[in-house]
Amino acid sequence: MIDVKETSLKSMLDRAINEAKNNQSSPLLSMTKKIHDINPLRFFEAAEQLAMNRSFWSATAETFYIVGAGSACDLADGAKTIEQMEENWQNLLAEAIIHNPYKTSGTGLLTLGGMSFDRAEHKSERWKNFSHLSFIIPEFILTKNDDSCYLTINIRVREDDHPGQLAERMKRMERTLLDSSVSLPRALSIKSTEDVAPSEWKQTVKCAADYIKQHHADKIVLARELQVKLSDEAHITPILRGLIETQTNSYVFAFERGEDCFLGASPERLVKQDKDKVLSTCLAGTAPRGKTQKEDARIANSLLHDEKNRSEHDFVVKMIRQSMDHYCFNVDVPEKPVIYPLKNLQHLYTPVTATLRKWHSIFDIIGKLHPTPALGGVPREKSLAFIRNHERLDRGWYGAPVGWLDSNFNGEFAVGIRSGLVQGDQVSLFAGCGIVRDSDPEEEYDETNIKFMPMLSVLGG
């Protein structure tokens, strides 16, 4: 990593082009500056005017946003495993020319993306635009952290580039992206919904429970799909706005690939890195919210003492701790879970904190954690085998890690649940639940209906 002090885009481009000529390479130039406050959703909407694929990340509880526009490169290009992608990241960092005097989390050279839930599965036509691994370094990144806003420009520079022309092109695009007068489109309405094979899904739940009773597995997570037809082609910005306004304590995300967009509001953090400190959270065990404060407290107390939900939760806690032990020390796990409230649901919640060992990274932990028992099952390989053989759904990026990391050893990944795939005027929504030996198909079906609510509500349902 070459850390430079120049502040002029043209002077940095001059340096990068000279480096490209001298080394016969194509270095990535990354420049971060502080800018006036701007609505992240207007930046996101303006990027569509430039026909740029977009990425969006928001931690709603922290007033933290990252919005990406365009693509300077895809880290996962040529990589088939997380390990190969991390090697690409480290090589890129070693050669990049970076100007970032702020060192604020989410600034500097940064990548956003995700992966398939099961990379061993053959990808269906529906997910054709989403590679099994895809992490984009956007051309433009807006980072909003509390009251401060930053703009990062990333450019892949070649030896025959003209610095003046390239600088002018980037400035024109910047003016468009930072135009505060960009209007936000209105939300659409739902025309119809179709539950995909509900009877077959309930039968699969029964089959999974029988499989568990025969001691082949302890838990299997099954997902299903709800297809939504909208009144017109979807606008992504108002969907994100609705999720931000309604889904507090969640990670609101969107990743465009071609004409398609995978988006959602996940309450489940997979792992967060702050230098050498890491945090993972167990969010397993679900109940609805009450209509009154008294009813809400009663449901929460029942969830805390429910044997099925506590057992499901403990599976996840144990697995996360074992995974952290591989790459961390000072692993700390509270003895009992607490309630994590959302607008429509409440969950059992246990945080796991640790210190990352030297020479290990957030990618190591992601590879070890995914899929957690909350999304796959226990034991992992047997539950995944059952899902591959019995689940009708191609999960794609649903239930898989999505998130970001930067060149200052910060990053955060969530599990892509409470989510959907937008394709024109069609949206495929996904929801799942953990099946154990005494699971009732009708109750599990009702639980997935509750989990569809966050997305349905912002689509106009």
87 an active-site residue? no
Question: How many CA atoms lie less than 13 Å away from 413 in the CB half-sphere?
Answer: 28
Choose the catalytic residue: 19, 86, 144, 219.
219
272 an active-site residue? no
Question: How far apart, in whole angstroms, are the C-alpha atoms of residue 254 and residue 170?
Answer: 24
CA dihedral 451, 279, 378, 264 (to 10 degrees): 20
Report whether 447 belongs to an annotated binding site.
yes
Helices (H), 57-162: 82-95
Q: Tell me what percent of the chain is helix, strand and coil, each rounded to the nearest 5.
A: 35, 35, 35
Report whether 159 belongs to an annotated binding site.
no
Which residue is associated with the tokens 């759904």?
A: 393
Question: How far apart, in whole angstroms, are the C-alpha atoms of residue 291 and residue 77?
Answer: 49
DSSP strand pairing (28-35 vs 97-99): parallel
Helices (H), 188-306: 198-213, 236-246, 293-304
Choose the catalytic residue: 86, 225, 268, 412.
268
Q: Please say whether the beta carbons of 236 and 245 come within 8 A.
A: no
Question: How far apart, in whole angstroms, are the C-alpha atoms of residue 222 and residue 432?
Answer: 5
* Amino acid letter, residue 80: K
Closest C-alpha to 263, from 397, 378, 122, 361: 397
Annotated binding site for Mg(2+): 312, 447
Q: Name the binding residues.
A: 312, 447
By annotation, the residues acting in catalysis are 219, 268
